[in-house]
Amino acid sequence: MLAESFMLKDPLSGHLFVFFGKSGDKCKILFWDRTGFVIWYKQLEEGTFEKLPCEKNKASIEVDIAKLTWILEGIDLFKARRRKRYDRKTQNEFI
C-alpha cells in the first residue's frame, strides 16, 4: 500500500492520507474506519487546490484538520490568519 511503503506510515492508524493529482484539481483521501478502507474523492470543476511546500527529502507533510478543510474549501492559507485560541493539547505538552 502506498501509504505504508512510500510514506512509511501505518494506514490503520486512523490518520487521513491525502493525495493530490499532478494537475492540482483532484484530491483523494484514504482512511481506515474500523471495518475497512474508505476513499473520498473530489474533482474541482474549476480552479486548483493549494499546494503546500514539502521538503525534498520528505515523502509527506502533516497538517491539522483545520488546514485540510481550508485547502478543500479553496481558502488561501498564506493570506488567512488564525486568531489566538486556547488549545488544550498544547497546554498539556509540558505536564
- Of residues 45 and 87, more confidence is placed in 45
Check residue 29 and give its pLDDT: 92
Q: How much is the average pLDDT of 59-88?
A: 84
Check residue 45 and give its pLDDT: 94
At residue 31, what are phi and psi to the nearest 5 degrees? Answer: -155, 160
> Whole-structure pTM over 0.85, yes or no?
no
Give the separation between CA 75 and CA 73, rounded to whole angstroms: 6
Check residue 95 and give its pLDDT: 46
CB contact at 8 A, 43 and 26: yes
Enter the C-alpha cell of residue 18: 491525502
Q: What is the pLDDT of residues 6-60, one digit of tens each?
A: 556 777 777 888 999 899 999 999 998 889 999 999 999 999 999 888 777 776 7
